[in-house]
Structure 1
Amino acid sequence: MHVDLLITDAYLYLDRDYEIPGGWIAIKDRRVHSAGTTAEPPPSAARTLSARGRLVTPGLINAHHHMYQNLTRAYAPAVNGTLFQWLTTLYPLWAGLDDESVYLSTYVAMVELLMGGCTTSMDHMYVHPKPKLIDAQFRAANAIGFRFHATRGSMTRSIEDGGLPPKSVVQDEDTILADSERLIGTFHDTRPGAMNRVALAPCSLFSVSERIMVESAKLADRHDVRLHTHLAEDPDEDEYCARVYGCTPTEYFERVGWATKRSWVAHYIFPSSEEIDRLAHAGVCVAQCPCSNMMIGGGAADAMDMRRRGLRVGLGCDGSASNDAASLWMETRQALLLGRFRHGPQSMTARDALDMATRGGAACLGREDELGHLRPGACADLVIWDAHPVARAGALTDPVEAWLRCGPAVAGTTIVDGRVLVDNGEPQLAGLADVLRDHAREARRIQGLQG
């Protein structure tokens, strides 16, 4: 048997409870073909890469992000605000988004994710001062070869309607629903191994009307696509829902028909135990965003408690204006530290955190059959991890624990759909320097800076 790519001399973390020390993994036709130990002869290959004893894992999966926000990364007037203060400071800047700035910010975000070992990401694009901005995101993803789930975000409540954003970035319900239909028809690929998919994602319960929540759920059911939103992220959200809807955020989420297996939510920091149990029973998934939530000071979801209760939990970078980095390795390490800080040193292992970053993210996106693991037939999305020899010195007994404990780790090689997109730590993209130059220009424009 002849395969396309063979990786040898690796410590293989292929899936939960499936690891091969000193093994090889073969890729053929953009899928995992086989894996084995050094005692088993590998197939011949068109290209062979030696992992030189390093850890190989499935590609990490980013279950919550706002890619356009890298245009306002570490923006000084907003860095020390609460969630609502942060949003009201940045919304007027984001009103300057257009096709080019969204393309460039998406491109940069995806390259940064690849360098941190992420091979699949969603994006929650909910600011729409111009039409067809998500089309620009798909152009960037396809130019790179990145596996991308766009979520058609939306806001209907401006400052004039009791919301937070300026009127220029919100839309009416009919415009949102019509564009949702258009995006599904144009970009959503239902085939196995799809590189492009679409989900529907009203921004938050306090930024959209009840009608858009209800109609989005109906539209998702009609087209068999997934649903995403922010939920229970901040105490101000509890106060808002109590005042406007007479209930908690989770109760409202259930009322509008979102408590289904189609849905995954971001953050979910302030639910009750009973609400966690109800959403777990309904099949809802959660994306924990450790770095962003800690940066804004709003706490973080109790991932291990949620997992014990049956909720599937993935990880997300969240926006690059609140994190302000897009590294799934950093999020995975932070999730490990948070879990152990909250529940004690025996409560969470590196393998628990890695499971969240792989299988958990795949569950959020509804693709656990072919993403988040490296069993035969899975999509050929994987990472050979690297770290400086100084950082690895003395770590001899457990490569998975060492991966998170002895960082920083970086993606030495990132493979998406069988293609090497990062090699020796460097993105294999000829036009990256031009993109970075143009991104800097757009960031200065949006932030109102000269030069």
Structure 2
Amino acid sequence: MSPTPVPAPCDTLVHGAHLVVDRDLEIPGGWIALRDGRVAAVGGPADPLPAAAARIDAGGRLVTPGLINTHHHMYQNLTRAYAPAINGSLFDWLTALYPVWAQLDVDDVEVSTYVAIVELLMGGCTTSSDHLYVHPRPGFLDAQVRAARTLGFRFVATRGSMTRSVEDGGLPPASVVQDHDSIMADAEAAIAAHHDPAPGAMTRVALAPCSPFSVSERIMVSSAELSERTGVRLHTHLAEDHDEDDYCAEVYGCRPVEYLERVGWAGERTWLAHFIYPSEEEVARLGRAGVGATQCPSSNMMIGHGTMDALRWRELGLTVGLGCDGSASTDSASMWMETRNALLLGRLRNGPASMRARDALDLATRGSAACLGWEDEIGHLRPGACADLVVWETHPVALAGALTDPVEGWLRTGPARAWHTLVAGRVLVRDGEPVAPALAEVLTAHRRAAVRLQAAALG
């Protein structure tokens, strides 16, 4: 493609890269010019380099759009590898951890979000949603937005909720559930305070009742109605475990997908987490309705109860993205690793010819962007896109001999890390290290919080 004229100088020029611009455009030896938080132009080695206030020499490294995380539970990094929960089923570890999370306060949420975002940036993620569904105290979503804004990260904060405690036939303790009216009032306040629908937004808000077994039918219907009125998106866990099928049959008299349709969620503003156990007919039905879904490869393998067939679901018309899920189930938050594991799971499930590295990259960029309703601006690096990109580094020993295909080499070798991560044109990881001056202080506060929470739970 011909380079787009760039007003001189641009803010930042990244050059000397194998540049992946989009799913159908790669430029060996390419460059990308950034201006005012946007991609101003891309070009190849034969095109003259535009003037720039700052230059980043990629040194022949792979440059891709920033990876996009469409499902996370950031507060859970306070309970990584929590011993009482590590070998159980989904319901087992939820039951073990809910009492721990009931002790969370606003400071815990802010430091855990800060640490989670820094970890994501180091793994090449430039946009993330977060599914925060425990609210034993007020102010949690505000704390998350503060952390994201402090770091300069593009963030979709979801106002999660739970209304059904163990006393009502659910899993969580009463201390972490809320009543319908309180949830909806806080959701409206969060949208008014933080949701920015404008192009290039850094913060958006979505509504995210936790799951069919932890919220009432009324909260699902009310969330769909508020989404319709405000345009914000909807997110929930669905079809994640066979126990959920039994629960929905007993409580709602139908399958999980039928329940989703009944409460008004089968539409283009909805994306689902996990979505492992629908029938193919149900997948196609939701695909026609415009619904998206997130595969969380490491979490699915850690819990050991299955994973969606991502490429097959996509063939059936469903939008599919990737997510890392909560640190309590996966114990890490690297979108590079999730992209690699998506590749491996796809090939394990459907054979070696079924999935390539570019397919996995597409899930983590274009697919994830579409789940968030943001495919026009993120997930690609065409001129006009948000200036969210990653320069990747893999140790030369690991890359030795990988000469013929830099994208396949990026996922087949490794581990890879973000050498530079840019969000809205700002460098947030430089030379492999996060640009986060408060990180040491935050890590100290994070350790204090983790010790307090886990000690209280373990007696």
After superposition, residues 374-393 of structure 1 pair within 5 angstroms as 374-393=381-400
Shift of 1:45: 0.2
Q: Deviations over 1:251-274 (max 9, x none)?
A: 000110000000000000000011
After superposition, residues 261-410 of structure 1 pair within 5 angstroms as 261-410=268-417
What's 2:108 paired with? 101
Could you tell me how far apart the structure 1 residues matched to 2:291 and 2:49 are? 40
What's 2:163 paired with? 156
Q: Deviations over 1:191-215 (max 9, x none)?
A: 1000000000000011100100001
Match of residue 88, structure 1, among 88, 91, 95: 95
What's 2:440 paired with? 433
Could you tell me how far apart the structure 2 residues matched to 1:187 and 1:148 are? 10
What's 1:179 paired with? 186
The one-letter code of the counterpart of 1:277 is: A
The one-letter code of the counterpart of 2:335 is: L
The one-letter code of the counterpart of 2:84 is: P
Q: Deviations over 1:341-393 (max 9, x none)?
A: 11111100000000000001100110000000000000000000001110111
Could you tell me how far apart the structure 2 residues matched to 1:74 and 1:193 are? 37
Match of residue 127, structure 1, among 134, 155, 158: 134
Match of residue 227, structure 1, among 234, 254, 257: 234
What's 1:50 paired with? 57
1:118 lines up with 2:130 in the alignment: no
Shift of 1:445: 0.4
Secondary structure at the counterpart of residue 127 of structure 2? strand
The one-letter code of the counterpart of 1:96 is: Q
Shift of 1:125: 0.3
Shift of 1:298: 1.3
Secondary structure at the counterpart of residue 428 of structure 2? strand
Could you tell me how far apart the structure 1 residues matched to 2:329 and 2:347 are? 23
Aligned length: 450
TM-score, reference length from structure 1: 0.99
Q: Deviations over 1:395-449 (max 9, x none)?
A: 0110000000011000000000100000010001111000001100000001017
Secondary structure at the counterpart of residue 84 of structure 2? helix
After superposition, residues 206-217 of structure 1 pair within 5 angstroms as 206-217=213-224
What's 1:165 paired with? 172
Could you tell me how far apart the structure 2 residues matched to 1:360 and 1:270 are? 20
What's 2:4 paired with? none
Could you tell me how far apart the structure 1 residues matched to 2:169 and 2:262 are? 21
Contact 2:274-2:295 within 8 A present in 1 as well: yes
Could you tell me how far apart the structure 2 residues matched to 1:290 and 1:301 are? 9
What's 1:68 paired with? 75
The one-letter code of the counterpart of 1:9 is: G
Contact 2:69-2:129 within 8 A present in 1 as well: yes
The one-letter code of the counterpart of 1:149 is: V
Match of residue 252, structure 1, among 228, 238, 259: 259
TM-score, reference length from structure 2: 0.97
The one-letter code of the counterpart of 1:197 is: R
What's 2:19 paired with? 12
Could you tell me how far apart the structure 2 residues matched to 1:380 and 1:302 are? 31
Match of residue 194, structure 1, among 201, 214, 234: 201
Shift of 1:313: 0.5
Secondary structure at the counterpart of residue 321 of structure 1? helix
Match of residue 137, structure 1, among 113, 122, 144: 144
In structure 2, the gaps of 5 or more residues are: 1-7
What's 1:443 paired with? 450
The one-letter code of the counterpart of 1:347 is: S
Secondary structure at the counterpart of residue 163 of structure 1? coil
State which drifts further: 302-311 or 59-68.
Answer: 302-311
The one-letter code of the counterpart of 2:447 is: A
Contact 2:85-2:97 within 8 A present in 1 as well: yes
Shift of 1:155: 0.3
1:27 lines up with 2:21 in the alignment: no
Could you tell me how far apart the structure 1 residues matched to 2:138 and 2:436 are? 28
Secondary structure at the counterpart of residue 91 of structure 1? helix
Could you tell me how far apart the structure 1 residues matched to 2:363 and 2:321 are? 5
Could you tell me how far apart the structure 2 residues matched to 1:84 and 1:306 are? 25
Shift of 1:95: 0.3
Could you tell me how far apart the structure 1 residues matched to 2:435 and 2:221 are? 43
